[in-house]
């Protein structure tokens, strides 16, 4: 084995031991890709074995109905470099990738699609970038081979939005071909369609991120599992991420401030109306301002208490999992013994 990307064993920040006994784990989510699989396995194996690194391929079958699972199981019994993880039903690409990460033993983890749209020949280039000291290297499909209107346009807009909102400027978040240091992934939990936000999540965890152009081929077999409806789900996840990035450890800063502002404005209007009623002796029952004052006071109290609840939840989130609110890259100290 060659010089490692990370130490042989690293304790994750949350105390869990991340055992890394191989150089590379290649994680592939698979749903109905039986025609591509033989070619894919060959391509990955030949690329990586040329580099003398120890590796494993983890194919996660995500509820396929075309025989992919059977093929993978049968292959895994004969090839020593393949681990087949078969999920009970279809959970979606994010969950499939997460299952793969949980079974990975590599110091570096590479993800790619099963449909041969990503080119396994790019894996060594990504790994070389990791060796330069990055924690995450993202592929950029600079000549993307997908339908212009239904895929490329929404993706352009999404990339622009994600870049601006998350602050991680990449050209192509949707590209599955990425390489990570195992320790960075160990700190992250995935939900929804969050796999495309892994760079943003990693950035929240303090990772060093870069991108490099990679090849992209048209789909040869089967068809894409996604349509336009994905755009909406991605946008919702983007909202979650942007909130998490800014306020995860301090929800009161946003809810408390809004609530306070609302309460103060409501109180001022209320005092004014009291003055009008008691001193000037005018009727205030029919004034829209009265409704506004009441509304501001009520929402203010709600926002404020919501902020307090969010603070409690945030503390539970961190403390129950032993998740610190920071991530240490390394600790350097002169050994005393
Ligand atoms: N995939 C999966 N579960 C799903 C949908 C897709 O594991 O529910 C896998 C699929 O087999 C492929 C990858 O995720 O390896 C990307 O899917 P696809 O190629 O359909 O997406 P596109 O490249 O068109 O965005
Ligand atoms: Mg694809």
**Which residue minimizes the CA distance to atom 19 of ligand 1?**
224
Q: Which two tokens stand for residue 254?
A: 């946003």
Domain boundary (247, 264, 279) is at 247
What is the CA(102)–ligand 1 centre distance, in A?
Answer: 19
**Averaged over 153-158, what is the pLDDT?**
85
| Residue 197 belongs to a domain | yes
Give residues (CB < 6 A) around ligand 1.
29-31, 33, 62, 90, 92-93, 96, 113-115, 117, 224-226
Distance CA 50, CA 52 (A): 6
| Residue 333 belongs to a domain | no
Domain boundary (201, 224, 247) is at 247
Of all ligands present, the nearest one to the C-alpha of 93 is: 1
Q: Are residues 278 and 180 in the same domain?
A: no
pLDDT tens digits along 101-150: 999 999 999 999 999 999 999 999 999 999 999 999 999 998 888 877 77
pLDDT tens digits along 322-334: 877 777 777 888 8
What is the CA(146)–ligand 2 centre distance, in A?
Answer: 9
Of all ligands present, the nearest one to the C-alpha of 231 is: 1
Distance CA 28, CA 101 (A): 10
pLDDT for residue 12 is more than 50: no
| Residue 337 belongs to a domain | no
The DSSP 8-state label assigned to residue 218 in this structure reads -
| Residue 241 belongs to a domain | yes
Q: Are residues 162 and 290 in the same domain?
A: no
C-alpha to C-alpha distances, 299 to 32, 203, 269, 306, 330, nearest whole angstrom: 49, 34, 15, 10, 45
Shortest-distance atom of ligand 1 to CA 60: 7
Q: Are residues 291 and 239 in the same domain?
A: no
Q: Are 31 and 90 in contact (CB under 8 A)?
A: yes
Q: Are residues 65 and 32 in the same domain?
A: yes
How far out from the chain centre does Cα 336 lie? 40
What is the CA(177)–ligand 1 centre distance, in A?
Answer: 12
**Averaged over 11-24, what is the pLDDT?**
62
Q: Are residues 182 and 313 in the same domain?
A: no
pLDDT tens digits along 86-98: 999 999 999 999 9
Distance CA 76, CA 68 (A): 12
Q: Are residues 148 and 197 in the same domain?
A: yes
pLDDT for residue 10 is more than 60: no
Q: Could you list the residue range(s) of the whole structural domain that residue 301 is in? A: 252-320
| Residue 325 belongs to a domain | no
Q: Are residues 56 and 73 in the same domain?
A: yes
Provide the pLDDT confidence category of residue 2 given band limits of 50, 70 and 90: very low
Q: Are 21 and 105 in contact (CB under 8 A)?
A: yes
What is the CA(131)–ligand 2 centre distance, in A?
Answer: 27
Shortest-distance atom of ligand 1 to CA 224: 20
Say how many C-beta atoms besides its own lie within 10 A of residue 199's C-beta. 24
Of all ligands present, the nearest one to the C-alpha of 112 is: 1
What is the CA(30)–ligand 1 centre distance, in A?
Answer: 7
The DSSP 8-state label assigned to residue 294 in this structure reads H
pLDDT for residue 14 is more than 70: no
What is the CA(42)–ligand 1 centre distance, in A?
Answer: 19
Of all ligands present, the nearest one to the C-alpha of 89 is: 1
What is the number of helices (H) and of strands (E) in the chain? 10, 9
pLDDT at 247: 82
Q: Are residues 96 and 175 in the same domain?
A: yes
**Averaged over 164-176, what is the pLDDT?**
88
pTM of the entire structure? 0.81
Q: Are residues 179 and 277 in the same domain?
A: no
Distance CA 131, CA 109 (A): 13
Of all ligands present, the nearest one to the C-alpha of 147 is: 1
Average pLDDT, the chain: 88
Return the closest-CA partner of residue 205 out of 158, 139, 252, 135: 135
Q: Are residues 242 and 297 in the same domain?
A: no
| Residue 1 belongs to a domain | no
Query: Domain count of the chain?
Result: 2
- Alpha helix ranges (H) inside 67-216: 68-78, 93-103, 123-131, 153-166, 182-186, 198-204
pLDDT tens digits along 185-208: 987 888 877 888 899 888 888 899
Shortest-distance atom of ligand 1 to CA 117: 23
- Choose the residue to mutate in 27, 31, 41, 193 for probing ligand 1, maximizing ligand atoms within 8 Å of C-beta: 31
How far out from the chain centre does Cα 93 lie? 12
What is the CA(115)–ligand 1 centre distance, in A?
Answer: 8
Q: Are residues 34 and 119 in the same domain?
A: yes
Q: Of the given ranges (33-37, 59-63, 216-220, 248-252), which has the lowest mean pLDDT?
A: 248-252
Tallying the residues shown for the chain, one arrives at: 337
What is the CA(224)–ligand 2 centre distance, in A?
Answer: 6
**Which residue minimizes the CA distance to atom 21 of ligand 1?**
224
> What is the end-to-end Cα distance of the chain in Å, rounded?
29
- Choose the residue to mutate in 66, 98, 115 for probing ligand 1, maximizing ligand atoms within 8 Å of C-beta: 115
């Amino acid at each position: 084995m060659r010089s490692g990307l990370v130490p042989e064993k690293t304790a994750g920040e949350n105390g869990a031991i991340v055992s890394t006994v191989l150089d590379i784990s290649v994680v592939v989510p698979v749903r109905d890709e039986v025609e591509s699989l033989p070619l894919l396995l060959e391509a990955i194996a030949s690329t990586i074995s040329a580099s003398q690194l120890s590796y494993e391929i983890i194919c996660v079958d995500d509820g396929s109905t075309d025989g992919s699972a059977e093929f993978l199981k049968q292959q895994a019994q004969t090839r020593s470099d393949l681990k087949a993880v078969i999920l009970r039903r279809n959970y979606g690409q994010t969950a499939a990738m997460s299952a793969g990460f949980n079974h990975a033993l590599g110091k570096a983890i590479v993800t790619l699609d099963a449909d041969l749209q990503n080119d396994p020949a790019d894996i060594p280039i990504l790994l070389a970038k990791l060796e330069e000291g990055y924690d995450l290297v993202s592929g950029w499909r600079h000549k993307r081979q997908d339908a212009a209107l239904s895929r490329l346009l929404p993706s352009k807009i999404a990339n622009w939005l994600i870049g601006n909102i998350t602050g991680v400027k990449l050209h192509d978040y949707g590209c599955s071909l990425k390489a990570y240091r195992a320790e960075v992934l160990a700190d992250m939990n995935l939900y929804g369609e969050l796999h495309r936000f892994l760079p943003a999540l990693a950035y929240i965890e303090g990772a060093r991120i870069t991108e490099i152009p990679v090849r992209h081929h048209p789909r040869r077999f089967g068809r894409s599992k996604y349509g336009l409806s994905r755009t909406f789900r991605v946008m919702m996840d983007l909202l979650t991420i942007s909130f998490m990035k800014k306020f995860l450890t301090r929800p009161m800063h946003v809810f408390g401030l809004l609530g306070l502002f609302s309460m103060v404005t409501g109180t001022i209007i209320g005092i004014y109306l009291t003055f009008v009623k008691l001193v000037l002796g005018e009727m205030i029952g029919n004034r829209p301002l009265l409704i506004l004052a009441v509304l501001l006071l009520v929402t203010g109290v709600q926002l404020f208490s919501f902020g307090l609840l969010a603070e409690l939840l945030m503390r539970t989130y961190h403390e129950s999992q032993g998740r610190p609110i920071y991530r240490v890259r390394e600790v350097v100290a002169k050994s005393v013994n």
